[in-house]
Each structure stands twice: as structure tokens, then as C-alpha cells.
């Protein structure tokens, strides 16, 4: 290459490394590191006490429970026996104060009577029924001897007579109610004969105890039949007039 030729031309935008370093603005100082503040303690609420667990019930086997019930029943029975012995009364001497129960035992029930809606006959019907109930509660509906003995025991004989009296009175009242329910106008004589037959049958079956239906009680049932017959005759006459 001839002398004086310059193959390389300097770049006017180029900056020498040393000068660039010299001309660069100084870096700002690093800011002071913030002082670490201790964390503020947050108060922790006191823990609530754990609920006390309910004590588990004792496990009782079915056999133990049954045995306990039996012991309690035996104890109550013993107390009842002691009370009866102290009072000098037995179960047979107890008086039943439930009138409805006594009446039902001898066949007297509240049923739909043909006269219960007849205003002209209603008061007479109530009067008859009250007299019948009174005789039953006073044990006057059935007459029987109080000297009948059973197994040489007068007490057993009286109890047997009382039970047999209830049975006979129940049969008689059932027959009387049947006569009234089936009563038609004009057949009052037939109803009375049917009830008379029941009276004679009871007297025959209870002859050993001198048992029979009280004639006064029988007369009241006859009055009830006649009263019902009068009402049915009146209803029939009103229908014929209409």
C-alpha cells in the first residue's frame, strides 16, 4: 500500500471508552435502607374453655331393666296388699262408684230410643229411665235369696247369687230393649208377651236361689213399651191424615 493512504476513517459518533466513562453522570447515591420496625404484636383473644362432655349414661341391659320393673311391680303389689289388710277390706268388698259401668254390666246402655226426639214423650221417657237406673243401682231390679250357700260358705253363695243376678238382669234388659226397638204400631201385646216370657224363664233358671225379676221393675219396662207404642200410633195417625 503506497505511503500516505488511509484505509480506515475515524467514526465521528464513536466515543472512546475512557471518555464515555468520564462523561457519564455520577450515579445517585443509594437511598438509606429503611430501618426495620419490630412487628406490632396483635393481642390474641383468650381461648374459650372446651365444653365439658356430658357423662355417658350407664348402659343397662334388657335383662336388668326387666328385672327392675318386676321388682317395682312386686313392691307395689305388696303395698296394695298391706293397705287392704290395714283397712280390713278385700277386693270383693270394694264398691264400684262408676254408675255407668254398673249399668252397662246389666245391659243398660245409651242407645237411640224411638222417643228421644219426641218432645211430647221425652220428659216421660227420661222419668222412666231414671227410675229404672235407680232400681238397678240399689240392686232392687232382681230379687234373690241371701241365704244361698256354695261349698258350705254363705259368703261364696252370696257372691255367686250376685253374679248370677247381674247375668239374668242383663239378659232381661237386652230382651226388653229388643222389644222396644222392634215395636210397631198395634203389636204392643206381642211385645209384652215376649217380655213376660223372659221373666218366667229367669224365674225358672234361678229357682234354686229364689231369683226373679222384681215386679216393679218389670212394670216400668211395660210402661216404656206402652209409651213407645202410643208415640208410634200418633205418628201413624198423623201420616194417615196427611
pLDDT single digits (tens) 61-92: 555 656 766 777 777 777 777 666 665 444 44
pLDDT at 218: 96
State the maximum Cα–Cα separation within the chain, in Å, rounded to a whole number: 182
pLDDT at 191: 92
Lowest mean pLDDT among 71-85, 131-145, 169-183: 71-85
Residue 212 phi, psi (nearest 5) = -160, 160
pLDDT single digits (tens) 6-47: 666 666 665 555 444 444 555 555 655 555 555 555 555 555
pLDDT(236) > 60: yes
Alpha carbons 192 and 137: distance in angstroms, whole number: 25
The whole-number average pLDDT for the span 98-109 is: 54
pTM over 0.85: no
Amino acid at each position: 500500500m503506497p505511503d500516505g493512504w488511509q484505509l480506515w476513517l475515524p467514526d465521528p459518533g464513536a466515543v472512546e471508552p475512557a471518555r464515555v466513562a468520564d462523561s457519564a453522570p455520577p450515579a445517585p447515591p443509594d437511598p438509606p435502607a429503611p430501618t426495620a420496625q419490630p412487628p406490632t404484636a396483635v393481642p390474641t383473644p383468650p381461648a374459650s374453655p372446651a365444653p365439658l362432655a356430658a357423662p355417658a349414661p350407664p348402659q343397662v341391659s334388657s335383662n336388668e331393666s326387666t328385672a327392675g320393673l318386676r321388682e317395682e311391680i312386686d313392691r307395689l303389689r305388696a303395698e296394695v296388699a298391706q293397705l287392704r289388710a290395714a283397712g280390713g277390706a278385700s277386693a270383693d268388698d270394694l264398691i264400684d262408684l262408676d254408675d255407668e259401668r254398673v249399668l252397662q254390666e246389666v245391659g243398660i246402655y245409651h242407645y237411640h230410643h224411638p222417643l228421644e226426639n219426641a218432645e211430647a214423650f221425652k220428659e216421660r221417657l227420661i222419668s222412666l229411665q231414671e227410675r229404672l237406673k235407680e232400681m238397678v243401682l240399689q240392686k232392687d231390679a232382681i230379687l234373690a235369696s241371701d241365704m244361698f250357700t256354695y261349698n258350705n260358705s254363705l259368703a261364696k253363695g252370696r257372691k255367686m247369687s250376685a253374679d248370677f243376678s247381674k247375668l239374668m238382669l242383663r239378659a232381661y234388659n237386652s230382651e226388653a230393649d229388643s222389644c222396644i226397638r222392634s215395636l210397631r204400631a198395634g203389636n204392643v201385646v206381642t211385645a209384652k208377651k215376649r217380655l213376660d216370657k223372659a221373666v218366667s224363664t229367669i224365674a225358672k233358671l234361678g229357682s234354686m236361689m229364689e231369683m226373679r225379676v222384681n215386679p216393679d221393675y218389670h212394670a216400668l219396662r211395660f210402661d216404656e213399651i206402652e209409651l213407645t207404642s202410643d208415640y208410634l200410633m200418633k205418628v201413624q195417625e198423623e201420616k194417615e191424615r196427611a
